[in-house]
Amino acid sequence: MAVADSLNKRKKMMLWSGIFILLVIVLLPMSGYIVTGLNESQQQSAEPTNPRADTWRQVRQGNEGYTAVTGQEANELIQGSGETWRQVRNGPMATYGSWFLGFVLLVIMAFYIMRGRVELTHPRTGETVERWTLNERRLHWTTAILFILLTITGLSILYGRAVLIPLLGYPGFSLYAVGAKFVHNTLGPVFMIALFAILVKFFRHNFFNKVDLEWFKAYGGMVGDKHPSAGRMNGGEKVWYWALATAGLALCFSGLVLDFPNFGQERQVIQLAHVIHLTTALLLIAFSFGHIYIGTIGTEGALEGMTTGQVDVAWAEQHHDLWLQEMREKNTDSPRSSE
C-alpha cells in the first residue's frame, strides 16, 4: 500500500508541476505588459509627428495661404482635383462617350434595316388635321436647330483634337474652334430659353397614364403590327419630354457654370459642372438620334406634322387615335379637306 501511495503522490506532484510549468511558460513572457500594458496606447498617440510634414499635408489638401498676387484661387498652392478631372474627361468620358454614340447609331441603323419604315396601314384619306400650331413648330425648330449647332460645336471641343486636327491641321482647327467656342458659349443660353419655353408649353400633355403603359407594352407599335392607342403625346414622346426636363435642365445649369467665369466659381465646381455637362449632353445627343430617326425616315407621315403642321387623318388614326377622337369631339368640323 505504501508503495502505491508514494506512486500516487509522485503522479500528483508531476501533474501539478506540469501545470505550473505550463502556466509559467504562458504567463512569464506576458509579464512585460504589467509595466508597459497601460502606457502603450498613450505612447503611440504621444509620438510627435513631424511638424513640417503637417505643413506639406495641408498644402496637398489645397489649404489656402496668403498671397500678395490677385487672381482666381491664387492663394492655393496645389489643386489636386484637376488631375482627377483630366483622367475622367480624357479617359472614360471621351472613350465610352464615343462608343455610346456609335452604338446608338448602329442600333438605329440595324433597326431600320430589319424593321424598315413604319408605314401607314391605311391609305391616306386626303383629309388633314392640325397637329402642331405655327407657334409650336417655330419653338420646335428653334430649339432643334440650336440643339444641333450646340451638338456639333460641343462634340468638336471634345473630339476635335482626335478627329478634326488630322483633317484641318492645327491652325485650321484652331480657327474653327474659336468660332465653335463662340457659337457654343453664345447660343447655349439662347437654347436654354427655348428649351424652357418648350417645357412649359408642353407640360400639361406629358403626364404618364395607363394608355402609355399599354403603349410601351406594344413597343409603341414599332415592333410588330399592333397599333397601341395614344393621346396627343405617346409614351415615347413623354419619355423624351422628361429626359429634356431632367437631363436637359442639368445640362443648361451646368453650362451656365462653365459659360460665366466672371463670377469666380472655383475650379472644383467647374470640374464637376463639366462632367455633368458632358454626361447629360452625350445622353441627350443619343436620345436625339432616336427622336430624329422616328420623326423622319422611321415613320411615314410624321415629319409633315412638324413642317406643315397638318397630318393626314389616316396617320392620326394610326398613331394618335385618342387625340384624333378628342379633336373630333371638340370640334365636329375640325378635320378639314386639304383639297
Partner 1 sequence: MARMKFLCDAERCIECNACVTACKNEHEVPWGINRRRVVTIDDGHHGDEKSISVACMHCSDAPCQAVCPVDCFYTTPEGVVLHDKDICIGCGYCFYACPFGAPQYPQEGAFGARGKMDKCTFCAGGPEEDNSQAELDKYGRNRLAEGKLPLCAEMCSTKALLAGDGDIVADLFRNRVVRRGGRPDNWGWDTAYKEQL
CB atoms within 10 A of CB 141: 13
Residue recorded with cell 441603323: 109
Query: Pick from 234, 244, 221: which is nearest to 140 by CA?
Result: 244
Which C-beta is closer to partner 1: that of 174 or that of 209? 174
| Span interacting with partner 1, options 19-27, 130-138, 142-150, 265-273, rule CB under 8 A | 265-273
Binding string, 3-42, against partner 1, x = CB under 8 A? Answer: ----------------------------------------
H or E element at residue 33: helix 32-46
Query: Which phi and psi angles does 118 have, rounded to 5°?
Result: -80, 105
Q: Taking CB under 8 A as the rule, does residue 157 contact partner 1?
A: yes
> Binder to partner 1 among 30, 69, 113, 200 (CB under 8 A)?
69
Quick check: 190 and 146 in contact, CB under 8 A? yes
Residue 116 binding partner 1, by CB under 8 A: no
Nearest by Cα to 287 from 35, 85, 104, 17: 104
51 binds partner 1 (CB under 8 A): yes
Strand partners, 127: 337
What's the closest the beta carbon of residue 269 comes to partner 1, in angstroms?
Answer: 10
Q: Binders of partner 1 among 92-111, rule CB under 8 A? A: none
For partner 1, the binding residue among 3, 42, 225, 263 (CB under 8 A) is 263
Nearer of residues 90 and 135 to partner 1, judged by Cβ? 90
Q: Going by C-beta distance under 8 Å and a sequence separation of 6 or more, which residues neighbour residue 279?
A: 93
**Residue showing cell 482635383:** 81
> If binding is defined by CB under 8 A, does position 274 make contact with partner 1?
yes
The identity of residue 284, as a single letter, is L
Stretch near partner 1 under the rule CB under 8 A, chosen from 25-33, 105-113, 178-186, 331-339 = 178-186
Using CB under 8 A as the binding rule, whether residue 80 contacts partner 1 is answered as yes
